[in-house]
Structure 1
Amino acid sequence: MAPSPAPDGARRERPDRETGMRRGLDVLLALGLPEAVERGGLGVMAICEITGREKSQVSRSLATLAEYGMVDRDPGTLAYRLGWRFFAMAQLAGDRRLLDDAPAVLDTLVADLGESAFLSVRQGDHAVTLVARRPGTGLQASAWVGQTFPLPHSSVGRVLLADADEDEVRAMFTQADLAGGRGPHAVRGPDDLAARVLAARREGSCTVDGEFEEGLLSIAAPVRDTAGRTVAAVNVSGPRFRMVERLDEVVDRVRAAGRALSSWAPEHADGLASTAGA
């Protein structure tokens, strides 16, 4: 069923700019239908069938929406789904639990570990911070809501890239793209990055020690959707001298936070403490 388009006559009476906007809105409404959510997204032809639009029109709309982060394309299935920029800006989703529960989960991490905690999502070759929580005093990692940073040099980035295979990771970044690491253990090249992403996927978390910045330690874990795909990452960052002696504890708690925020996980925010201590 098409998402309630206006009559053809009404479309013809409107200027081209509004017609383009209406096409984009039709695409977004199609991607919000239950069948799109259940299937993990829709291909171009499926969207054409739902909206009654031509393939060229839908493809142009998707390209523009993807450019602005309003839709994402799954690298495996090539299906399109509503993007995290859409959820972050409009705070609309079929399941609001992630954005609703994230502050409480991060507050628990901050209270238990005394370090800053963040929830981030992927936007192209960068990550963007959606939620940030930090202790009131002391030396802390600096990040704020809306801040973006390159994927290759952070624990969050490795986790957000972990669904891609090694060849895909190598193809995403050139040697020049990897020049932003300032720490002594920074990524050396595409092959090195692919190996580190693979390690993050195998371990179910990522620890970055002195890569993006000397003396900074960061641990991230994935937040997954109902299909098991990584849609976000939760991480804790702070000075190495404070965190290195209790690294195992931090890793366990960050992984538990990721599970608590994952839509398939039984744990909710109010059960994080017991889960982390298991």
Structure 2
Amino acid sequence: MVDKQIGIHDANTSAKSSEKSGEKTPDLVKSGVGVLDKAALILDTLEKGPCSLSQLVNDTGLARPTTHRLAIALERHRFIARDQQGRFTVGARFAELATVAGEDRLLTSAEPILQTLLERTGESAQIYRRQGDQRVCIAAVERASGLRDSIPVGAMLSMEAGSAAHILLAWEDSEHMHQGLRRAQFTAQTLNTVRRRGWSESINEREKGVCSVSAPIRNASGHVIAAISISGPVDRMGISPGRHYAPLVMKAGKYLSDAMARV
């Protein structure tokens, strides 16, 4: 009986506190961590489509200061983004986490594709996904001999240079794209070109004497979740590697995108 009375007292206290702040009592899934429950409620609401701050307040029943504070915090962690109208939307971080969750499926399909890409181009091939402010190599095959760009699985590379970085940043929301460009060795015009033609190349950008060509891998929703690349010495791949290799890299990326869509 005492436990029940305490529970009722706590609920009444919480309700009175909400009334004093002007906040409606929303129908939250209770985890015992109030701020997490409210953040989840905001994300559940954004799952239905983009929302202005006023719409979020109305749909969640949370107080405006609470909604704004949590939305900005979630935006900083890239779980929330902004569209061109400034509305809140689900952010790119979810696509990255989904990539990790589905990485085994991607890698199962990727192994023969990377090997085929190596055989047809003669160059090392890799797959990268974004991990925060870096990119990680999750699959790779290398030339058996001769000069090669050796990047082992698990290697962490900067998002500031290289054709794979172009791909992983080009389809980000505008705010995070501009944040990424602040320290980048490439420009917004580079990313505009990448989006227009669907592939990217870099020459002497990540490392002197090395060039690469990359294309996107998308999930069933069309979000870019990874980049597939070939890389090697400029002396062998030439100063316009995309002209020769982009069709093959794009075809490999499309095959893996189609495979992910079938999952």
Scaled by the length of structure 2, the TM-score of the pair is 0.65
Encode CA deviations 1:121-140: one digit per residue, 9 max, x unaligned: 374xx443373333495644
Change (3 A) 1:148 1:48: farther
Encode CA deviations 1:11-66: one digit per residue, 9 max, x unaligned: 939xxx932222223223334x4xx2xx4x44434433342212321222122223
1:222-237 equivalences in 2 (<5 Å): 222-224=216-218, 230=224, 232-237=226-231
Whole-Å separation in 1 of the counterparts to 2:260 and 2:218: 15
Whole-Å separation in 2 of the counterparts to 1:269 and 1:249: 26
**C-alpha contact 2:128 2:228 (8 A) present in aligned 1:** yes
2:259 maps to 1:268: yes
What's the counterpart of residue 106 of structure 2? 102
**TM superposition shift of 1:109:** 3.5
**TM superposition shift of 1:160:** 3.5
1:197 is matched with which residue: 191, 211, 215? 191
Encode CA deviations 1:61-89: one digit per residue, 9 max, x unaligned: 122223233x1414424432043267528
2:15 maps to 1:20: no
SS of 1:268's partner is helix
Larger radius of gyration: 2
What's the counterpart of residue 258 of structure 1? 253
**C-alpha contact 2:82 2:173 (8 A) present in aligned 1:** no
Whole-Å separation in 1 of the counterparts to 2:33 and 2:141: 43
1:162 is matched with which residue: 157, 170, 190? 170
SS of 1:142's partner is coil
Whole-Å separation in 1 of the counterparts to 2:221 and 2:261: 24
Encode CA deviations 1:161-192: one digit per residue, 9 max, x unaligned: 434799x9778645xx34xx5xxxxx5xxxxx
Change (3 A) 1:211 1:28: same
State the identity as a percent. 17
Whole-Å separation in 2 of the counterparts to 1:229 and 1:90: 10
What's the counterpart of residue 128 of structure 2? 119
What's the counterpart of residue 238 of structure 1? 232
| Unaligned segments of structure 2, at least 5 residues | 1-7, 16-31, 119-123
